[in-house]
Amino acid sequence: CSVPCKVFQDELGDLCRREKLYCKDLGVNKSNINDYEVEFLCDYKKTKDAELYMVKWKGYPESENSWEPKKNLKCPKLMKQFHLDLDQVLRRRKGSSIPRRLRKETVSLLTQKAKLHLSLQRWEAHLNQTRNHPGRIFVRNEVDLEGPPKNFTYINNYRVGPGIVLDEMAVGCECSSCWEEPVNGCCPGASLHRMAYNEKGQVRLRPGKPIYECNSQCKCGPECPNRVVQKGIQFDLCIFKTDNGRGWGVRTLQHIKKNTFVMEYVGEIISTDEAERRGHVYDRQGSTYLFDLDYVEDVYTVDAAHQGNVSHFVNHSVSVSSQLLGVGGGS
């Protein structure tokens, strides 16, 4: 059982420091409880003698913010991010050079952006702590001030909805090597189909043909070449805010060869009747995350609206870059 994350671990550490509480698990102890760490920079001014930055201290309220000279700050990444945000704000307001003092509206926007970066970093860390696949997840929003989605839980495997009972695989293959010595055509052969993958794990079937992978009843192990989807996401992917008003999208951070598996559409498995009911609700909201699960007959549907993986954020592209295929088998 899992629920959406309410408070991130570093936020608990901040709370301990604020309340002067020691916590071994969070690494807050007597020697570091009063340590000052820069959380973000939110203002800037230039005097005759120095450049000064307004510092928000980690674990302390904004009422404790203070001006600090540039020479005292040892946070190059935060300083770089501050100036990137400042340049973006000034460009939008048709300003080119940095003024000696910033306007209140600019400071307010910079503070909101800094808080956004923090929330997205925490969410990114949470996603990577939760995932069970090799591919890492990155999160970026350089468009607006929208933070992590609310009421969404990242899951790695399908969740079975109320009243749903899934049949377990009855039989599996007896192959000692599914690729080199398939017995009776391995699992695809049992369904009168051919092996879906080539020796590199790339799909070699025509679009529309189902894929049958080996399952939990098979003699072969987890490294079987006919268990591609089961090995999970292999590439680093980035959840990013689109600049065309389409919400969130997903892009790869690595080159992916044609016909290579990218991700599985994971969510809650529900009946078609429940999908019909939810579909009316989603239509009124202007979005849907429903996909029919079965290849021959629509018995079940996957709903990734509130529980899902990276695929929840995939958006439509002007030029088609991926294709949805049905896969049977698995664990």
Answer whether residue 12 shows pLDDT above 70.
Answer: yes
Question: Based on the domain organization, do 231 and 289 belong to the same domain?
Answer: yes
Residue ending a domain, choose from 98, 130, 162: 130
* Residues of the binding site for Zn(2+): 173, 175, 178, 186-187, 214, 218, 220, 224
Same domain, 197 and 88: no
Question: For residue 15, what pLDDT band results from cuts at 50, 70 and 90?
Answer: confident
Enumerate the known binding-site residues: 173, 175, 178, 186-187, 214, 218, 220, 224
Q: Average pLDDT of 310-326?
A: 87
Residue 116 falls within a domain, yes or no? yes
Q: Which of 79, 78, 57 is nearest to 66 (CA)?
A: 57
* Separation CA 203–CA 211 (nearest Å): 9
The last residue of one of the domains, among 68, 97, 130, is 130
Q: Is residue 296 part of a domain?
A: yes
What local confidence, expressed as pLDDT, does residue 29 receive? 75
Q: How confident is the model at residue 331 (pLDDT cuts 50, 70, 90)?
A: low
d(CA 297, CA 22): 58
Indicate whether 94 and 165 sit together in one domain. Answer: no
pLDDT value for 297: 61
Of 99, 130, 161, the residue at which a domain comes to its end is 130
Q: Is 19 part of a structural domain of the chain?
A: no
- Considering the domain architecture, whether residues 176 and 286 belong to the same structural domain is answered as yes
Q: Is the Cβ–Cβ distance between 237 and 138 less than 8 Å?
A: yes
pLDDT at 201 over 90: yes
CA distances from 183 to 67, 180, 196, 264, 277 (A): 73, 10, 15, 27, 44
Please report, for the domain that includes residue 55, its CATH number: 2.40.50.40
For the segment 290-299, what is each residue's pLDDT rounded down to a tens digit? 988 765 566 8
pLDDT at position 4 is: 57
- Strand pairing partners for 45? 52, 101
Residue 300: CATH number of its domain: 2.170.270.10
Residue 186 has pLDDT above 80, yes or no: yes
- Examine residue 141 and state whether it is found in any structural domain, yes or no: no
Does 14 map to a domain? no
**Domain match, 165 and 82 both:** no
User: Residue 98: its pLDDT value, please?
Assistant: 83
Residue bearing the bigger pLDDT, 171 or 170: 171
Is residue 325 domain-resident?
yes
Do 172 and 314 fall within a single domain? yes
The residue range of the domain holding 318 is 153-330
Contacts of 7 (CB under 8 A, 6+ apart): 15
Do 49 and 184 belong to one domain?
A: no
Mean pLDDT of the 283-302 span: 81
What the block records as the tokens of 103 is 């306007």
Q: Provide the domain count of the chain.
A: 2
Task: Give me the pLDDT at residue 259, please.
Answer: 96
- Cα separation, 91 vs 152, whole angstroms: 34
Comparing 22-36, 110-124, 193-207, 297-311, which segment has the lowest mean pLDDT? 22-36
Are 215 and 187 in contact by the 8 Å Cβ rule? The answer is yes
Query: Is 28 a domain residue?
Result: no
d(CA 265, CA 311): 6
Examine the domain organization and report whether 106 and 173 are in the same domain: no
23 within a domain of the structure (yes/no): no
User: Which pLDDT belongs to residue 32?
Assistant: 63
Do 206 and 97 have their domain in common? Answer: no
Q: Is residue 233 located within the same domain as residue 319?
A: yes
Backbone angles phi, psi at 269, to 5 degrees: -85, 120
Instruction: Kindly state whether residues 90 and 162 are assigned to the same domain.
Output: no
Residues 169 and 207 in one domain: yes
Which tens digit of pLDDT belongs to each residue from 22-45?
787 777 776 666 667 899 999 999
